[in-house]
Structure 1
Amino acid sequence: MDSHPPTDARTRILDAVESIVLARGVGGLTLDAAAKEAGVSKGGLLYHFGSKEALLTGVMERLSVFVAAEFEANVARQPAGPGRVARAFIAWAFGEADCSPGHDHHDRAAAVFLAAFHHDPALLDPMRAQIGRMKEMLLNDGIPHGAAMIVMTATDGLFMAHLFGLYRPTEADIRALRASLDALLEARA
């Protein structure tokens, strides 16, 4: 007997959209493909999502909610005091959260980002808003503005390197970057 509760149709559809764009890109995403992958009728899919844009909007909204929750949880795991949010950014970028590089959520997020951007850059607005909130938290973290921006830019750079596959940082690159970011925060403590 399966110990997992049944997944609702909306969740199955959004999971299917992520799987399709991860495997085939936004060009492979059609209403028919999403319905088939989700195991629902096309009418069932249309009940929840009336267009390809609605599907992509749904996955971006879900992703932004997930990122917000993951980030808040990661902040809560850090010691209190100045640099708490910066340490959360660093821990997240270096694989200490569910949507960090190397986790399935990260690869799915990357695929969703690219698909949404390719279809209509405005679809990234929910994530832009979330990243803006995270930046505000970082800038109010009790560390100098420049140090906060170094942390944000470095961690964003790691995400973008993975997202676009332009280069793969070596283990030595990762260790050196992490040590430099940790030292930057220690110097501010």
Structure 2
Amino acid sequence: MPSGDRRDELLDAAEQVLSRGGPQALTLQAVADEAGVSKGGLLYHFASKSELVRGLVERLVEDTNNNYARWDDGEPGSYTRAYIASTTHHLTAADADRVLRRWSVILAASTEPEMQGPIAEAFEAWMWPEPAVDRYPERAQIARLAADGLWWNAMFVNAFRDPELNKRISAALVDYAEGRDHPEA
């Protein structure tokens, strides 16, 4: 098996440990046990817990950026539509549990002081895109924040994973962001 695949399997195992037990459960031994490898096998890929968390954060940021790019159609307001589509689509996709687990990484990053900067930079970029990408910037910001709220709540409230409800909420957020909910906007 290629090294990159093994590395992803180890990161998946770390996410499983995090999603079940929170940041306090994330130990190198727990991840090794989850992945079915020796602690030495884990240390070959990640020399410390900090390196493991760094790998989790880097993968989260890369995957999130790729998701946004995938949904971005290049039209005015496309970033916010991509943000909302990416967020809401993954709540109802077949891999929703895996995708939601990725956000447990943020909890782990909060326990590693050197990771708070990279995660903050990523959120800064996601929440504050380049100026003039949206016709109504404040509305777009509110819609992105609401999409994040939907995401966080879907981790605990299964109703928010319902495809039809999700589709309606997503459409309402886009309409709000683009001023279509209010004729005077």
Question: What TM-score does the superposition give when structure 2 sets the normalisation length?
Answer: 0.76
Deviations along 1:43-86, one digit per CA (max 9) or x if unpaired, are: 222232222222222111111111111111121xx3x4211112
State the match for 1:105 in structure 2: 98
For structure 2, the 5+ residue unaligned runs are none
Letter paired with 1:83: G
Pairing partner for 1:153 from 137, 145, 148: 145
1:90 aligns with 2:84: yes
The structural deviation recorded for 1:88 is 0.9
* Identical positions, percent: 31
1:62 aligns with 2:59: yes
The structural deviation recorded for 1:136 is 3.5
SS in 1 for 2:129: helix
Letter paired with 1:101: L
Deviations along 1:102-137, one digit per CA (max 9) or x if unpaired, are: 4133221122222332x2365243333223223343
Cα RMSD, aligned residues only? 3.1
The structural deviation recorded for 1:157 is 1.6
The structural deviation recorded for 1:26 is 2.4
Matching of residues 103-142 of structure 1 within 5 Å: 103-117=96-110, 119-120=111-112, 122-137=114-129, 139-142=131-134
Letter paired with 1:162: A
Letter paired with 2:138: G
Distance in 2, matches of 1:176 and 1:70, equals 20
Letter paired with 1:28: A
The structural deviation recorded for 1:6 is 8.0
For structure 1, the 5+ residue unaligned runs are none
Matching of residues 13-32 of structure 1 within 5 Å: 13-32=10-29
Question: What TM-score does the superposition give when structure 1 sets the normalisation length?
Answer: 0.74
Distance in 2, matches of 1:27 and 1:123, equals 16
State the match for 1:48 in structure 2: 45
Distance in 2, matches of 1:176 and 1:10, equals 38
SS in 2 for 1:143: coil
SS in 2 for 1:137: coil
Distance in 1, matches of 2:134 and 2:26, equals 44
Letter paired with 2:68: F
The structural deviation recorded for 1:11 is 2.4
